[in-house]
Amino acid sequence: DTEVTQTPKHLVMGMTNKKSLKCEQHMGHRAMYWYKQKAKKPPELMFVYSYEKLSINESVPSRFSPECPNSSLLNLHLHALQPEDSALYLCASSQGGSYTEAFFGQGTRLTVV
């Protein structure tokens, strides 16, 4: 199984809502990532978890809160988002070694209204 599964595929939320994005992989990968991608732009790294611990936070606003409940799951909790946070949110995983590829999920397309 070389899949990274993200749910939901689409999400529309109001600025006062709280929602969560979920990501799951069963490849035994030790590293998991969240990326944000705006239209016609490249993905930008948000967070990295290594061995279930947050290792990189790319100065992401606190309205985005990541969580890694176990080695297979990664969540992104959303609260009080702004319309400019509308984007495609991509989850990825990798072995985390020196020369390893990343496997990406299909993403959650988030619209904040």
Q: Looking at beta carbons only, is 45 or 80 nearer to another protein?
A: 45
**Up-side HSE of residue 38: CA atoms within 13 Å toward CB?**
6
Q: Looking at beta carbons only, is 12 or 56 nearer to another protein?
A: 56
Residues that bind another protein (CB under 8 A): 4, 30-31, 33, 37, 39, 41-45, 48, 50, 55-56, 88, 90, 92, 94, 96-107, 109
Separation of alpha carbons 25 and 73, rounded Å: 7
Separation of alpha carbons 101 and 68, rounded Å: 21
| Token output for 10 | 């689409």
**Residue 17 Cβ vs another protein, minimum distance, rounded to whole Å:** 23
Q: Looking at beta carbons only, is 80 or 88 nearer to another protein?
A: 88
